[in-house]
Amino acid sequence: MRLYKKTGKTIHIISFPDEDVEKGCYLLIEDKRAGKSIVALVIDIQFANVPGIMEELLREPLIDDPKREDIDPFNITSHILYVQDARLLICKIQGTIKDDNITSDTSWLPSRTHSTIYRLPIERLLKMADISGKYLISLGETIEMSPIVIDASNLDGKLNVITGRKGVGKSHLSKLLVLGLIRHGATAIVLDLNGEYKNLGLSVDGKKNEFYDRIRVLIPSKNFKVTLRQTGLSVIIGILIHALCLPGTSAREFKHIWRFLEERKMLSLHEIGEAIRRWQCNQQVKDALFSRYYALLHTGFFTDDPNEATDFEALLQKVGEEGGAIIIDLSGLAPVDRQIVVEYILMKLQDLLSQWKIRPIFLFAEEAHLYLRETYWDDVITRMRHFGIFATFITNQPNTIKENIYRQADNIFIFNFVNEHDLEFISRTAKVDAETLISIVRDLPPHHCLVLGDVVKNFPVIVKVRPLSVQTMGETRLFFKERNIEELGIERETNLHALQRGEIP
């Protein structure tokens, strides 16, 4: 390989046919005179535009004509064919290695004549970057078939995004991270929109696995109900204002009603309804309170029976002792009910964390735009991170996540996108330049993702995500696949009956 030119952080390298190079691999440009080397990521491979190549390609059919005598005593044709297959590697500088230490220095220029260029194994690069640590999570393998293991502490206190088009393995990676975190004693809360996470405690064959006792599945209105006393006035007001859009005037009246009942130890759903009916206030305010009251009542999430209620605080403290995951199954809820439950969970978490009653939480949110209110996007970056809520957003619609989330995300796992609009949107991330991201992500096969951020020390790496030995339940249910299974079962049953009757020898 030969160094051709450098423009900004882009380096062009000439590669010959017998040199093994592919998109996503790393090259080391070693300048021994300077005593340092450039680390470059291959983001695209093109044919080298050699002068006269068009003329040679047009002549080739004539040379291969069997009627013509091929006289080539100096074997020039083989050299021409070799040059025709020469490639131009478009690379992006990622850093400099000097004395086995990697720095982000990109200000120097290696020698064209004295530099040696060769492929840098990703495993060696990541070892020098020291991405592994005490709390290991195996992601899978690189394009060079070498294992890649990250440190869970690089997810701690961080904002993470997992994105890609549908059916490429986003939820699978999310489950892998959840299980990796709880294996190291972390507490994870999953807002499960499609009911995909509830069987993480079971192996593929349906048997209990090592995580079975550490996975708690809560289904709102079934095994997850709360009392008003557990909830508290501040959380209820937050639900009424943000999830149910209660006007400020009506919210003030609701506070008066709550305190009136609380002082008389009569706080319950039934008594709130009766108090609203008897309360002396504007009829429009009363109508607004009644409509929100019935919305809360019909969720089935709130109860007056303490025996039915789930002590969410005690559950979080118990899970936090040895690590585990609380799966909030939102799959059976109406959109408004979903917002009410999520509002309760997030406000309750902030309340408990601000009082140091529970350990920090890793929050995994699938398609959060469907239930997370607008103002929470900014809270995730500022207040919630300081409290100890570290969010991972999973989505196949990148434009539904606010742009400042991408700009400030610490780790981004990007699966394949082909839509130009989606590629343009995610290219705004501050972790890598737009050209690198778009070029690599467009060609990613299923179950492969581009990993950016702190977990790989800001060296972009393509990872093939490893399979899990748990019931992931993320596979799309298909009509013809089920029909084929049914027909196969009928055929086997028919053959068995024929065998029993002696019709089949």
pLDDT digits (tens, 9 = 90+) for 345-355: 988 998 899 89
Judge contact between 89 and 5, C-beta under 8 A: no
CB burial readout 33-47, b (16+ within 10 A) else e:
ebebbbbbbbbeeee
Does the pLDDT at position 51 exceed 90?
no
In CATH terms, the fold of domain 146-220+311-465 is Rossmann fold (3.40.50)
* pLDDT over threshold 70, residue 484: no
DSSP state of 394: E
3-state secondary structure of 469: coil
Q: Under DSSP, is residue 501 helix (H, G, I), strand (E, B) or coil?
A: coil
Q: Output the pLDDT for position 106.
A: 84
User: What tokens does 309 get?
Assistant: 């209620």
DSSP code string of 137-174: EEEEEETTS-EEEEEGGGTTT--EEEE-STTSSHHHHH
Asked if residue 4 has pLDDT above 60, the reply is yes
Neighbours of 400 (CB within 10 A): 15
Q: How far apart are CA 228 and CA 194, in angstroms?
A: 28
Question: pLDDT tens digits, residue range 444-481?
Answer: 999 999 999 999 999 999 999 999 888 776 556 665 56
**Looking at residues 243-258, what average pLDDT do you find?**
92
Average pLDDT, integer, range 307-318? 93
Cβ contacts of residue 312 below 8 Å, gap of 6+?
A: 226, 230, 345, 348
Percent of the chain with pLDDT strictly greater than 70: 86
Instruction: Name the residue with tokens 């393998």.
Output: 141
pLDDT for the residue numbered 449: 95
Q: Kindly state the tokens that stand for 381.
A: 């970056």
Judge whether residue 504 has pLDDT over 60.
Answer: no
Note if the pTM is more than 0.95. Answer: no
> What pLDDT score does 469 carry?
85
What is the rounded CA–CA span in Å between residue 502 and residue 505?
7
Q: Mean pLDDT across the stretch 207-216? A: 91
Confidence of residue 123 (pLDDT cuts 50, 70, 90): very high
**Per-residue model confidence as pLDDT tens digits over 18-34:** 888 999 999 999 998 88
**Average pLDDT of the residues of the chain:** 86
Q: What is the pLDDT of residue 139?
A: 95
High-pLDDT (> 90) share of the chain, %: 52
For residue 243, give Cα distances in angstroms to 246, 276, 330: 8, 20, 15
Domain boundaries, the chain: 2-129, 146-220+311-465, 228-299, 475-505
